[in-house]
Structure formats: C-alpha cells, structure tokens
C-alpha cells in the first residue's frame, strides 16, 4: 500500500499561514514598542494612536487568518472542516492518523507489548468478538494496519488466519 504524504501544495499553504501569523504578531507587538518609545511625547498623538491601532487591528486579523490558513495547510480543506466530505477528510488527515498510530506502536514496543500476540487474541476464537462476521474482523484488522499499529507482515498473517477460519 502506498503511504500518502502531505503534498507540496499543502506544505506551501501551511508555511504561508505561518508567515501570515508571524507578520501579524510582529504588527501587533510593534504597537507596544512604538507606544513605549513615544511615552510622554504628545506631538501628533492622535496620528500615532490611529497608526498604532491600525497596526494592532491588522496584526490580530493576520494572526487569525494565518491560523486558519495554517490549519487548512496542515489538515487539508476537508480535514480542517471547511469542506464537509468524510471520505476526503479521512484522506486529508491520513498522514497524521498514521503518525499517531506509529507513535502508539512505539509506546507499546517500549512497554514490551507484543502486538502480534495482541492481534492474535483479537482475531482468535477465544476473543470476545469471535462471534463477529469475518468481514468485520477484516475491517478491524485493516484499521489497525492503517493506523500504523500493525506492520504489513503482522496484518497479512492475521488476515490469513481469519480467512482460514471462515
């Protein structure tokens, strides 16, 4: 199975969003620096105040917009909730789901949990779900592989056991 990676376009959108957020933060903070530098100077106070407020407001708008653009870049249009399409959303967030499953697998490996033994118990006849239809067992096994919890070899071995028993 080909592993999906985050596309270059989505990476670009993500980094543009990060840039917008950084620019917004700098604009917002520049207001405080300007006011501190001109503390006590009341020459053209109204003009400086208007300029400062405009920069602060623009900075906040850029921070919010940058956060939204970053979210779209990270999770895709459907994964971020802008497009309501569950299939596309699953596809958009697949790299992150796989990463989460891989992190879980690493944690279980570090704790000394043998995943092939656990998978065997899940698909074995002594398991509580042994009365599940074989197609449901295959779906659950497939989900474990997609999440990165089972390796391809473990998946194939358990799949063959399920098929042999049905």
Please give the structure tokens belonging to residue 72. 């779209």
Angle at 80 between CA 17 and CA 21, to 5 degrees: 20
Task: Give the residue extent of every domain in the chain.
Answer: 8-83, 94-165
- The answer to pTM > 0.85 is no
Confidence of residue 120 (pLDDT cuts 50, 70, 90): low
How many other β-carbons are positioned within 10 Å of the β-carbon of residue 59?
20
Contacts of residue 126, Cβ cutoff 8 Å, sequence gap at least 6: none
pLDDT single digits (tens) 151-166:
888 888 888 888 888 6
């Amino acid at each position: 199975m080909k592993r999906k990676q985050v596309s270059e376009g989505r990476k670009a959108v993500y980094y543009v969003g990060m840039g917008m957020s950084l620019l917004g933060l700098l604009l917002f903070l520049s207001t405080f620096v300007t006011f501190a530098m001109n503390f006590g100077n009341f020459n053209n106070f109204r003009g400086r105040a208007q300029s400062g407020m405009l920069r602060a407001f623009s900075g906040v708008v850029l921070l919010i917009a940058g956060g939204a653009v970053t979210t779209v870049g990270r999770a895709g249009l459907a994964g971020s909730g802008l497009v309501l399409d569950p299939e596309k959303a699953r596809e958009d967030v697949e790299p992150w789901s796989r990463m989460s499953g891989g992190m879980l697998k690493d944690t279980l490996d570090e704790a000394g949990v043998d995943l092939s033994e656990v998978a065997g118990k899940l698909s074995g006849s002594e398991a509580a779900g042994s009365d599940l239809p074989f197609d449901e067992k295959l779906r659950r096994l497939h989900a474990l592989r997609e999440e990165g919890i089972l390796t391809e070899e473990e998946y194939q071995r358990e799949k063959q056991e399920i098929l042999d028993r049905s």
